[in-house]
Amino acid sequence: MMDDTNVRSDAAQKKKVVDLIKRKQQLRYEEEQEIIKREILVFCQDCNEWRLETLVEIQGIEEDFDGRDKLSFMCDRCGKFQQSFRVLK
Ligand SMILES: [Zn+2]
């Protein structure tokens, strides 16, 4: 009886640990996604500075002849319509 209880609690303990690891991995994945998003910059010609893609209001995206992503957006600083390539910080 004693052994049986131990086995069951071990199994429960293991499941808890597995769940914890999964949650941590999920969190890390979400954090990484957030970092990736944060590090993409677009250029505002009116402000003459780089803005974070996550902060601007995205209107659309298209590819140029070289296959580079060209983003249409409203600048979060000046509120004007802009077009810019997406650049990794
Ligand atoms: Zn601007």
What CATH number should be reported for the domain whose range is 40-89?
2.20.25
Dist. CA 73–CA 61, nearest whole Å: 9
- Structure confidence by residue, pLDDT tens digits, 57-84: 999 999 888 888 899 999 999 999 999 9
For residue 53, the CA-to-ligand 1 centroid distance in Å is 12
Domain residue ranges of the chain, discontinuous segments joined by + = 1-38, 40-89
Dist. CA 26–CA 22, nearest whole Å: 6
Report pTM: 0.57
For residue 30, the CA-to-ligand 1 centroid distance in Å is 28
Contact 73, 47 (CB under 8 A): no
- Structure confidence by residue, pLDDT tens digits, 2-21: 566 666 778 888 889 899 88
- Structure confidence by residue, pLDDT tens digits, 35-62: 666 678 999 999 999 999 989 999 999 9
For residue 41, the CA-to-ligand 1 centroid distance in Å is 12
Q: What's the pLDDT score for residue 50? A: 95
Dist. CA 77–CA 15, nearest whole Å: 48
